[in-house]
């Protein structure tokens, strides 16, 4: 079975996909995977629509957004198989981690993520839960994470929203400490496979095999650990020091970020949907059955 699989973008928290590929777990399930680059986050959606690829990985946010734009008619995307089940972002700054609360952002200069929408949408919901109006925060919304690490070092900002490897790099450079882990809120549907309704019908057996391969990552990680994971996926991150990669993988393993399971958490899906809706990104809360494909294991 031959499948064209597009990565969303090259992120450290996507390590399970790369490890499954590098360890030959897809091949053991009878799959020949063509792993294709995407020029930018979400670019694979257009490739799916044009039939140039069979499946991609990325945030179910994109499936939910399409459903909101085309309710019941014209929507084609579906999500399946949960890989990153928690939010991979952190707040890093020079405040005291022991005393830091989200409400402190009201008096600090804060830079949020600009590269993708999900982290700020989800953090806004955390802020609302904490009784904080997100609009009351002095927020810099339009700089890249690597720019915000430099801004932390210079003292131009107080707190930055980052994912790995920028968290580890910021800590290595003395730019700050981890003040808040978004994964602490629990499940948030963050990364799944995404295909089209037609693609699901054409490739059901192959997608089932992909899920079986991904499901083997959890037991493998439990046995081998973060350092070995960093070694296996290092070729996918040639610009990262091995020590940084080990630090990043360890932080994510300790956070239980990856579930790598067939069924997408309803609680995690609902949390993402509420975050998107309450932030005004979509006009209504999404329906799980409408956005998630059921691939029952036979």
How distant, in Å, are the alpha carbons of 16, 164, 171, 176, 208 from that of 242? Answer: 17, 13, 15, 21, 33
- Whether residue 107 lies inside any domain: the answer is yes
State whether residue 20 is helix, strand or coil. Answer: helix
Q: Which domain holds residue 170?
A: 90-183
Mean per-residue pLDDT for 186-196?
97
- 201-220 pLDDT tens trace: 999 999 999 999 999 999 99
Q: Would you state the pLDDT for residue 72?
A: 66
DSSP 171-234: HHTTS-EEEEEGGGG-----EEEEEEHHHHHHSHHHHHHHHHHHHTHHHHHHHHHHHHHHHHHG
Find where tokens 């993520």 sit. 113
The answer to whether position 291 is within a domain reads: no
The total domain count for the chain is: 2
* 78 and 195 share one domain: yes
- What average pLDDT does the chain have? 94
Q: Mark whether 230 and 257 lie in a shared domain.
A: yes
Cα within 13 Å of Cα(177), Cβ side: 8
Looking at residue 101, what is its pLDDT? 97
Same domain membership, residue 233 and residue 122: no
Q: Is residue 288 part of a domain?
A: no
Report pLDDT for 36: 86
To which residue do tokens 């953090």 refer?
A: 123
In a domain, 54, yes or no: yes
Q: How far is CA 1 from CA 26, 72, 201, 233, in A?
A: 10, 31, 14, 24
- What's the pLDDT tens digit per position in 250-278? 999 999 999 999 999 999 999 999 999 99
Confidence band, pLDDT 50/70/90 cuts, at residue 74? low
Confirm whether 294 is domain-assigned. no
CATH number, domain with residue 125: 3.40.190.10
For the chain, give the percent of residues with pLDDT over 70. 97
């Amino acid at each position: 079975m031959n499948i064209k699989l597009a990565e969303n973008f090259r992120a450290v928290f996507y390590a399970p996909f790369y490890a499954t590929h590098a360890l030959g777990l897809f091949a053991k399930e009878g799959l020949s995977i063509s792993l294709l680059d995407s020029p930018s986050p979400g670019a694979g959606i257009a490739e799916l629509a044009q039939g140039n690829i069979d499946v991609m990985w990325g945030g179910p946010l994109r499936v939910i957004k399409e459903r909101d734009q085309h309710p019941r008619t014209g929507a084609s995307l579906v999500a399946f198989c949960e890989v990153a089940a928690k939010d991979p972002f952190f707040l890093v700054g020079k405040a005291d981690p022991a005393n830091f609360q989200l409400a402190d952002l009201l008096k600090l200069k804060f830079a949020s993520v600009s590269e993708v929408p999900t982290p700020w949408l989800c953090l806004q919901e955390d802020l609302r839960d904490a009784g904080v109006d997100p609009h009351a925060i002095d927020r810099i919304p339009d700089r890249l994470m690597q720019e915000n690490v430099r801004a932390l070092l210079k003292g131009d900002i107080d707190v930055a929203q980052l994912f790995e490897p920028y968290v580890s790099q910021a800590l290595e450079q003395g730019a700050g400490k981890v003040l808040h882990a978004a994964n602490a809120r629990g499940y948030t549907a963050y990364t799944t496979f995404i295909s089209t309704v037609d693609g699901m019908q054409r490739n059901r057996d192959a997608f089932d095999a992909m899920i079986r391969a991904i499901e083997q990552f959890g037991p493998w990680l439990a046995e081998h650990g973060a350092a070995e994971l960093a070694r296996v996926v290092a070729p996918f991150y040639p610009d990262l020091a091995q020590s940084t990669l080990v630090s990043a993988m360890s932080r994510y393993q300790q956070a239980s970020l990856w579930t790598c399971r067939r069924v997408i958490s309803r609680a995690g899906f609902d949390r993402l949907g509420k975050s998107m809706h309450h932030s005004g990104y979509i006009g209504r809360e999404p329906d799980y059955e409408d956005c998630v494909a059921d691939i029952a294991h036979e």
